[in-house]
Chain A
Amino acid sequence: MALKVYADRMSQPSRAVLIFCKINGIDFEEIQVDVFKGQQFSPEYKAINPMHQVPAIVDGQLKLFESHAILIYLSCAFPVASHWYPSDPSKRAKIHSVLDWHHSYLRRGAGGLTFNSIMAPLNGFRSYPQVIIQAEEILLRSLSKLENFWLKDGGFLVGSSQPSIADISLACEVMQLELLSEKDYHRIMGPYKKVKKWIDDIRSATAPHFDEVHERLYKSQKVYRERMVTHSGKNKVRSKM
């Protein structure tokens, strides 16, 4: 039975798993779980992932969720090039380190900001202004750490000359910021030259799958930006005074 990947292409970690499978030629079936339609709460999906989140995979008897655990598992269970998840314990440790850092920093910042300022209000869910402010603070600190520490040696994360699973995971997170208004996107991302170049390098290293998997995000970006123009400032990110 082929690998099954349960994903929503609006979800950053879902996209990371899809891109990884495609660039490595892993044979899989993609099963869409539409989060804004609440499909993650169906009894069928609960049997796969009782945390009601995407992505998840089923590989034979194994059911697995949490995208970093999935990416690591796929790197070991399928024949993929070693740069994605090197066997050297020190290189592997550095990848674990940035993947762990990601949870509480870049993901919390980017995910928190885009969900609360754009996706929640435009889909009829409640959002909290204080959370938006806090999320942007965390995001800016995280982008600064990416620019000045994680990418300080150039190339890909943790000084590598080739991409790893950490690059795909974090790049998909940064891509979520494309949902912001054009003005807010440039205001936030403008200072971070290395981060922007790194996104382009990952796009090239995983072409054509990176752009194909992000198509739905870009379609949503267009819809959200048109709706933002007609909404009165309610969903805008607070700008710095």
Chain B
Amino acid sequence: MPFLCPDSSSFLFGLKRLADCSAINPMHQVPAIVDGRFKLFESHAILIYICSAFPGVANHWYPSDLSKRAKIHSVLDWHHSNLRRGSAGLVFNIVLAHRDSHHSYPQAVNQAEEILIRSLSKLENFWLKDGRFLVGSSQPSIADISLVCEIMQLELLSEMECNRILSPYKKVVNWIEDTKKATAPHFDEVHDFLFKAQKRIRERMTTEFRKNEMKSKL
């Protein structure tokens, strides 16, 4: 499926608001799409639109069966206030707030981690209880891509934190691998940018930790 991908290097981590972007998305967020004269933002809406508007998309991504589709909507909706709120909240307050000199509240960190742990537990014990993919499916849907990409954001934390948080959830870890394989080689290619950022962030965290250690010894 051909598409144009404008240079995204100044998006997201730069938190810059380009003047021409607001004409596409007045909420100043990514992602957004332009398809002919049609502009759209909110990733779940975009994923559903692409599944419906482009004929080459296999049915398992967004099944036509009403009940299966309803279950996908259900987990996509749950995601907003649970996994996304926990994971994005934690990563923002630990990593990005410091990087961009925004104030980060310890209470916000604790709250985000609580929400994240509850969400991972629900993923492990409910959403993944009946199959390799979400809502008991044997094949991935748009919900799997969306939620796995959210969990991948935790790679921006230190290696120790990331392992501490994810390692109790065996089904979740397997599901991430299954989703990666089902979307290979694109999953890794699209996450290349994230892993480069991870390297920079972790090097900086190590340097800051050593500085603070030395200060405390003086």
Among residues of A, the one whose C-beta sits closest to the C-beta of B37 is A90
- Cβ A89 vs Cβ B53 within 8 A: yes
Known A93-B40, A101-B42, A104-B80: A69·B49 in contact at CB below 8 Å: no
User: Which one, A1-9, A21-29, A72-80, A196-204, is touching chain B?
Assistant: A72-80
Query: A90 to B45, alpha carbons, bound, how many Å?
Result: 10
**Does A194 reach chain B (CB closer than 8 Å)?**
no
Within the complex, the shortest CB–CB distance from A217 to chain B, in Å, comes to 21
- B residues within 8 A CB of A104? 80-81, 84-85
- B residues within 8 A CB of A130? 105, 107
Query: A107 to B46, alpha carbons, bound, how many Å?
Result: 21
Query: A70 to B78, alpha carbons, bound, how many Å?
Result: 12
User: Which one, A59-67, A173-181, A184-192, is touching chain B?
Assistant: A59-67
- Cβ B81 vs Cβ A96 within 8 A: no
- Cβ A69 vs Cβ B77 within 8 A: yes
**Does A222 reach chain B (CB closer than 8 Å)?**
no
Query: A93 to B50, alpha carbons, bound, how many Å?
Result: 10
- B residues within 8 A CB of A73? 66-67, 69-70, 73
Interface residues on A, range: 20 to 34
- B residues within 8 A CB of A69? 70-71, 73-74, 76-77
Within the complex, the shortest CB–CB distance from B110 to chain A, in Å, comes to 12
Contact residues of A between 75 and 89, Cβ < 8 Å to B = 76-77, 89
- Cβ B48 vs Cβ A96 within 8 A: yes
- Cβ B70 vs Cβ A64 within 8 A: yes
Among residues of A, the one whose C-beta sits closest to the C-beta of B54 is A89
- Cβ B40 vs Cβ A66 within 8 A: no
Known A66-B74, A145-B27: A103·B81 in contact at CB below 8 Å: yes
Interface of B is mostly: helix
**Does B187 reach chain A (CB closer than 8 Å)?**
no
- Cβ B52 vs Cβ A97 within 8 A: no
Within the complex, the shortest CB–CB distance from A149 to chain B, in Å, comes to 5
**Does A51 reach chain B (CB closer than 8 Å)?**
yes
**Does B169 reach chain A (CB closer than 8 Å)?**
no
Number of A-B contacts defined by CB within 8 Å: 85
- Cβ B52 vs Cβ A92 within 8 A: yes
- Cβ B26 vs Cβ A149 within 8 A: yes
- Cβ B48 vs Cβ A93 within 8 A: yes
- A residues within 8 A CB of B52? 89, 92-93
- A residues within 8 A CB of B27? 101, 145, 149
- B residues within 8 A CB of A77? 66
Among residues of B, the one whose C-beta sits closest to the C-beta of A111 is B81
**Does B191 reach chain A (CB closer than 8 Å)?**
no
**Does A100 reach chain B (CB closer than 8 Å)?**
yes
Contact residues of B between 24 and 45, Cβ < 8 Å to A = 26-27, 38, 40-45
Query: A108 to B84, alpha carbons, bound, how many Å?
Result: 13
- B residues within 8 A CB of A92? 48-49, 52
Known A69-B77, A103-B81: A97·B41 in contact at CB below 8 Å: yes
**Does A94 reach chain B (CB closer than 8 Å)?**
yes
- Cβ B42 vs Cβ A100 within 8 A: yes
**Does A50 reach chain B (CB closer than 8 Å)?**
yes
Interface-central residue, A50, A62, A65, A69, by most chain B CB under 10 Å: A69
- B residues within 8 A CB of A62? 67, 70
Chain B residues packing against A (C-beta within 8 Å)? 26-27, 38, 40-46, 48-49, 52-53, 66-67, 69-71, 73-74, 76-78, 80-81, 84-85, 105, 107, 122, 126
3 shortest interchain CB distances as A-B pairs: A69-B73, A96-B45, A103-B80
